[in-house]
């Protein structure tokens, strides 16, 4: 968020259309889709032997304590810290402040590399009883609720795109892909969801 | 389909990984003592074993870490996986 006067434009601005579509069963959508926009998305990668210090400092700076546990996500109401790899996290919240500067004020350059990715992701939230089935069509991950549970976050190949999938509750997922894949991603998701009937809701 | 047990992410399908070459191949270094013959062998010569083989894989669609995989080239059985900077058992 270099200049707050510059409004972020969604990667889906040309194709995002709210409403109900597909094969609605008795008028009900099996999947609800909405874009998460605009978000502050900050990647923090701790240098060697700085992991514990960075975890503690992010907690002080941003109010969320990342976990070193692989494939985990720690969330409070406003902010999430998602594990990406060893000593590497994505800190995400709705864009209300300069999160890059907030984290960078305390997490110094000799502790971690901090990269603003807010401009470079397209994020969809999938919810509803058929959301797992939509994802099953595009990934080799075990999507069984016992194996992919709330608080889990896994990076994988989804419809041949590199994607981060964050499970928020039993049937709600936030999915992050690179912005340049945004339109393809949106289209493949709505095609996969069509047989269940889907609703596209306002951005959140 | 091969499944590889990433030391961080757990068992994942091989589509999430890319192959990174023979992990037995040791870089000869840039010192003046390194001969042309050593470079030739490093660059071009590989064993072609039928059985357990040590190889690098990159979990590129996952945690992005390089790992070492001991894999049977005949049966595709994945025998062991470790972070790339760790040895695979005492035999290596
Ligand atoms: Zn991994």
Q: Interface pTM (ipTM) of the complex? A: 0.89
Q: What percent of chain A has pLDDT over 90?
A: 94
Predicted local distance difference test score (pLDDT) of residue B90? 54
Q: Domain segments of chain B: what residues?
A: 3-25+34-83
CA distance to A46, A54, A157, A158, per residue, from A51 (Å)? 6, 5, 27, 29
> Tens digits of per-residue pLDDT, A143-197?
999 999 999 999 999 999 999 999 999 999 999 999 999 999 999 999 999 999 9
Name, in order, each residue with C-beta under 8 angstroms of A86's C-beta and a sequence gap of 6 or more.
Answer: A51, A68, A70, B8, B63, B65
Predicted local distance difference test score (pLDDT) of residue A178? 98
Instruction: Compute the mean pLDDT over every residue in chain B, rounded to the nearest whole number.
Output: 92
Distance A187 CA to ligand 1 centre (A): 28
Q: Which domains does chain A have, with CATH numbers?
A: 19-37+120-200 (3.30.1360.120), 39-118 (3.30.70.1520)
Neighbours of ion ligand 1 (CB under 5 A): B 6, 8-9, 59, 62-63
Predicted local distance difference test score (pLDDT) of residue B64? 96
Instruction: Compute the mean pLDDT over every residue in chain A, rounded to the nearest whole number.
Output: 95
Predicted local distance difference test score (pLDDT) of residue B92? 46
Q: Are A65 and A51 in contact (CB under 8 A)?
A: no
Predicted local distance difference test score (pLDDT) of residue A1? 55
Q: Place domain B3-25+34-83 in its CATH homologous superfamily.
A: Folate-binding superfamily (3.30.2270.10)
From chain B, pick out residues whose CB is under 8 angstroms from the CB of A157. Answer: 15-16, 61
Q: Are A196 and A23 in contact (CB under 8 A)?
A: yes
Q: Do B63 and A86 touch (CB under 8 A)?
A: yes
Average of per-residue pLDDT across B26-31:
89
Q: Is the pTM of this model over 0.95?
A: no
Average of per-residue pLDDT across A73-85:
97
């Amino acid at each position: 968020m270099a200049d707050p006067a510059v409004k972020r434009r969604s990667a889906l601005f040309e194709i995002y259309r709210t409403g109900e579509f597909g094969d609605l069963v008795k008028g009900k959508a099996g999947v609800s889709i909405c874009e998460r926009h605009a978000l502050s998305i900050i990647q923090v990668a701790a240098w060697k032997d700085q992991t514990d210090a960075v975890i503690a400092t992010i907690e002080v700076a941003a109010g969320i304590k990342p976990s070193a546990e692989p494939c985990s996500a720690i969330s409070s109401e406003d902010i999430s810290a998602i594990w990406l790899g060893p000593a590497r996290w994505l800190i995400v919240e709705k864009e209300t402040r300069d999160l890059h500067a907030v984290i960078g004020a305390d997490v110094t350059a000799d502790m971690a590399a901090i990269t603003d990715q807010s401009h470079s992701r397209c994020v969809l939230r999938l919810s509803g009883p058929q959301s797992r089935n939509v994802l099953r069509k595009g990934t080799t991950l075990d999507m069984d609720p016992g194996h992919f549970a709330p608080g889990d976050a896994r990076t994988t190949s989804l419809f041949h795109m590199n994607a981060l999938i964050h499970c928020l509750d039993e049937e709600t997922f936030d999915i992050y892909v690179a912005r340049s894949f945004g339109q393809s991603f949106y289209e493949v998701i709505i095609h996969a969801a069509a047989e269940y009937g889907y609703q596209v809701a306002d951005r959140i | 389909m091969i499944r590889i047990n990433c030391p961080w992410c757990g068992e994942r399908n091989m589509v999430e990984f890319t192959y990174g070459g023979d992990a037995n191949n040791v870089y000869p270094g840039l010192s003046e003592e390194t001969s042309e013959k050593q470079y030739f062998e490093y660059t071009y010569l590989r064993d072609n074993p039928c059985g357990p083989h040590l190889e690098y894989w990159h979990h590129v669609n996952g945690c992005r870490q390089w790992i070492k995989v001991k894999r049977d080239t005949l049966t595709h059985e994945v025998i062991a996986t470790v972070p790339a900077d760790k040895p695979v058992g005492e035999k290596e």
